[in-house]
Structure 1
Amino acid sequence: MRYFWTFFWTFILIHMVTYVVSSMIGVGYDFSTANILGIAVTILILIVPALLPNGPVEKTDH
């Protein structure tokens, strides 16, 4: 369920960002570009936490 909600909110937010940015630069809104970006950002969001260490850092006193 976590993956679904991550994809859902990322998909909606990327579409909103794509619409606003395309309006600001004066080009037409492209639905397929927003879809590709939404999928790419979702994958990035799901991969980054897997790469980060989740253990505490040891303190080293000098």
Structure 2
Amino acid sequence: MRYIMTIVWAIIISTVLSYVLTSMEGEPFVLSEALILGVIFSIIVIVLGEFVLKEKKEQ
């Protein structure tokens, strides 16, 4: 479930970010580019959360 919510939030945030930045530039908004950015963000977040930022268990 956490992977699904990570993907959903990454897509939402990247879409909003892409819309705001393209509006500021005066360029047309392209949804496919925003979705690709969301997939890339979600992969990075999942990799960081699962492998890179793992807390060490104390024994």
Relative distance call for 1:8 and 1:25 in structure 2 (3 A) is: same
Give me the whole-angstrom Cα distance separating, in 2, the residues matched to 1:35 and 1:29. 12
| Matched ranges for 1:17-32 at <5 A | 17-32=17-32
Larger Rg computed on CA atoms: 1
| Matched ranges for 1:1-62 at <5 A | 1-49=1-49, 50-55=51-56
Paired residue for 1:59? Answer: none
- Give the number of the structure whose residues are more often helix, by fraction: 2
Structure 2 segments unaligned to the other structure (5+ residues): none
After the TM superposition, which segments of 4 or more aligned residues of structure 1 sit over 6 Å from their partners?
none
Structure 1 segments unaligned to the other structure (5+ residues): 57-62
CA offsets, 1:30-59, max 9 Å, x none? 111001100000000000121234117xxx
Give me the whole-angstrom Cα distance separating, in 2, the residues matched to 1:5 and 1:42. 10
Give RMSD over aligned pairs.
1.2
Larger RCO (CA under 8 A, 6+ residues apart)? 2
TM-score, normalised by the number of residues in structure 2: 0.86
Alignment size in residue pairs: 56
